[in-house]
Amino acid sequence: MNTIAPSNSPTLSFVVPMYNENAAIPIFLKRVRAVMESLGESYEIVCVNDGSTDETLSQLIEAQKTDARLKVVDLSRNFGKEVALTAGIDHASGKAVIPIDADLQDPPEIIGEMVNKWREGYEVVIAIRSDRSVDSFLKRNAAKWFYSVMKRMGEISIPPNAGDFRLMDRKVVDSLKRVTERTRFMKGLFAWLGYKKAVVYFVREKRAAGQTSWRYWKLWNFALEGIVSFSSLPLRIWSYLGVFTSLGALLYMFVIIGRTLFSGVDVPGYASLMVVILFFSGINLICLGVMGEYLSRIFIEVKQRPLYLVREKYGFESE
C-alpha cells in the first residue's frame, strides 16, 4: 500500500466537521480515544468548527491544550458541512483519513475492521448502514428514494446507505484534493474518484447528544445538489418532453383539421384553451427552473472564490 504522506505522519486522521456540537464533544473524544488505544495506531483528530454559535470552539480549544493529537480548524463563518469536511481533509496529514460525525451515529468501534481491510490492500473502505431504524420513517424512505433516483439518473454509482463515514488511503485523499469545484456533494465526489473499494456494515445509532441541524428542507436541498452535480438527465428530459409535446400538438392539429373538414366543428372551447395555456406555461417555468439550477452552479464556479476561509488553527504548530 503506497502513500505519499511523510514518514512521521500519523497512521490515521479523523476529520470531524462540527456545527453546534458542544454537548457531543466530550463523549465523542472519549469513545474515539478508547478505540484507538485498543488498536495501538498513531492518530490525529482534525476538528473543523463550522461557524458554531454555542461553546463548540471553546471546548475544542480547551481539549486541544491537553491532547496534542487534537487539531482544530476554525472557519471564518458557517460554510456548510460539505465545505467543512473539505477543509478538514485538506488539513489531515495521516496515511489514511476517516471522515466521521461527532454525533456518534457512525460508531468508531468499527474502525478496527476498516483498518484491517485497508491493510489488506483496499484503498477505500466504505461503512454501510445495515440498519437505520433509529431514523424516522420519513427520513428512511426519503433516503431510499434519493439513492434510487441517483442510481437511475446519476453518472456515477453511489452505494446506498453510505454516508461520509469511510476510510481513504492517502493516494485517494490526494486525488480528492485536486477536485476544486465550489459546489460540493462529497458522497458523489467520493464515488467519482473510484479506486479499490471494500465495505463494512454497521447499525446506525442514536445521536449521542444534541440535536441535528439537518431538517427536511435542508435535506431536500442536499438531495437536489447531488442530482444536479452528478447528472445532466434533468436537462435532457426537457428536450425529450419538447419532442413529444410537438408530436402531440402535430397529431392534435390533424385531428382538428379532420373534424373541421368532415364535421364542421372548428370553434375551440374557452376552458380547454385556458387549460392548455396554463399547463404549458407551468411546463416552461419548470424548464426554466431546471436550467436555472445548472446556470447558478456555473455562476458560482466562474467566480473562483476560495472554498472556505480559516480564522484560526490550533495544534498544527506542534507538527
What's the pLDDT score for residue 14? 92
Q: For 257-282, what is the mean pLDDT?
A: 62
The model's pLDDT over 110-165, given as tens digits with 9 standing for 90+, comes to 888 889 888 888 888 988 887 666 565 566 666 666 666 666 666 667 777 777 88
**pTM to 2 decimal places:** 0.66
DSSP output for 60-85: HHHHHHT-TTEEEEEESS---HHHHH
CA 113 to chain CA centroid, Å, is 24
- Answer with the residue of higher pLDDT: 285 or 232: 285
The model's pLDDT over 203-259, given as tens digits with 9 standing for 90+, comes to 877 665 555 555 555 555 656 665 666 666 666 666 666 667 666 666 766 666 666
Q: Which domain holds residue 134?
A: 12-216+305-318
Please indicate, yes or no, whether residues 295 and 312 belong to a single structural domain of this protein: no
In a domain, 102, yes or no: yes
Please indicate, yes or no, whether residues 171 and 275 belong to a single structural domain of this protein: no
Beta strand 124-131 pairing with 310-314: unpaired
Q: How many helices (H) and strands (E) does the chain have?
A: 10, 8
Taking the C-alpha atoms of residue 72 and residue 45, their distance in angstroms, rounded to an integer, is 8
In a domain, 4, yes or no: no
Please indicate, yes or no, whether residues 202 and 108 belong to a single structural domain of this protein: yes
Please indicate, yes or no, whether residues 188 and 264 belong to a single structural domain of this protein: no
In a domain, 221, yes or no: no
Please indicate, yes or no, whether residues 139 and 251 belong to a single structural domain of this protein: no
Please indicate, yes or no, whether residues 148 and 193 belong to a single structural domain of this protein: yes
Task: Write the Ramachandran bin of 121: left for phi over 0, alpha for psi from -120 to 50, otherwise beta.
Answer: left
Backbone angles phi, psi at 168, to 5 degrees: -125, 130
| Local structure of residue 207 (DSSP, 8 states) | P
Please indicate, yes or no, whether residues 260 and 194 belong to a single structural domain of this protein: no
Please indicate, yes or no, whether residues 191 and 50 belong to a single structural domain of this protein: yes
- The CATH number given to whatever domain includes residue 22 is 3.90.550.10
In a domain, 253, yes or no: yes
Looking at the structure of the chain, the number of domains it has is 2
Please indicate, yes or no, whether residues 136 and 31 belong to a single structural domain of this protein: yes
- Answer with the residue of higher pLDDT: 286 or 218: 286
In a domain, 189, yes or no: yes
Please indicate, yes or no, whether residues 296 and 310 belong to a single structural domain of this protein: no
In a domain, 222, yes or no: no
Work out the pLDDT band at 260, boundaries 50, 70, 90: low
Q: Which long-range contacts (CB under 8 A, 24 or more apart) does 147-153 make?
A: 149/223, 149/227, 150/226, 150/227, 150/230, 150/231, 153/227, 153/231, 153/233, 153/234
DSSP output for 93-162: -SSEEEE--TT-SS-GGGHHHHHHHHHTT-SEEEEEEEE-TTS-HHHHHHHHHHHHHHHHH-SS-PPTTE
CB–CB of 111/35 below 8 Å?
yes
Please indicate, yes or no, whether residues 176 and 64 belong to a single structural domain of this protein: yes
Please indicate, yes or no, whether residues 67 and 191 belong to a single structural domain of this protein: yes
What's the pLDDT score for residue 265? 57
Burial, 216: exposed, middle or buried (Cβ in 10 Å; 0-12, 13-18, 19+)? Answer: exposed
